Amino acid sequence: MSKILVVEDDQDIRDLLVDPLSDLGYDVVEAADGESGFQYALEEHPEIILLDVIMPIMGGFEVPQKLKSNPSTSAALVILVSAKGQEQDFNTAMDAGAWNHIVKPWEQEDLEAKVMAAAGQAQKAA
């Protein structure tokens, strides 16, 4: 099963992402800010990264750009998690290197569907 990195500075929201994905059998790890999430991605090469947009140290639009520019992490599929749900915000996320976008608060089915689609794409690429 795919390795997923959840990068979210709010512990309660992080738990809402980590717990159900772990229950589905994914190998889920977590980081509390963009810098530690980026470092983890460099070391562990997760296939999927759920990334909050607004975080301390390194924000969610900066991290995907750094991941895509690094050959060892460029294949990771980034799903940005944001309270902003306007089409312009989605386009900004895609321009930053995100694979997809989830709007807070999300429906559990939406989260699972997007993660399953990313996992399927990651396995095809492997």
Helices 34-44 and 62-69: crossing angle, nearest 10°? 20
How confident is the model at residue 86, as a pLDDT? 66
Parent domain of 53: 3-125
Does residue 104 come out as left (phi exceeding 0), alpha (psi in the -120 to 50 range) or beta? beta
Domain tally for the chain? 1
For residue 63, give the CATH number of its domain: 3.40.50.2300
pLDDT tens digits, one per residue of 29-38: 999 999 999 9
User: Mean pLDDT over residues 113-126, rounded?
Assistant: 90
User: Mean pLDDT over residues 9-13, rounded?
Assistant: 96
User: Mean pLDDT over residues 34-62, rounded?
Assistant: 90
User: Mean pLDDT over residues 13-42, rounded?
Assistant: 96
| pLDDT band per the 50, 70, 90 thresholds, residue 25 | very high
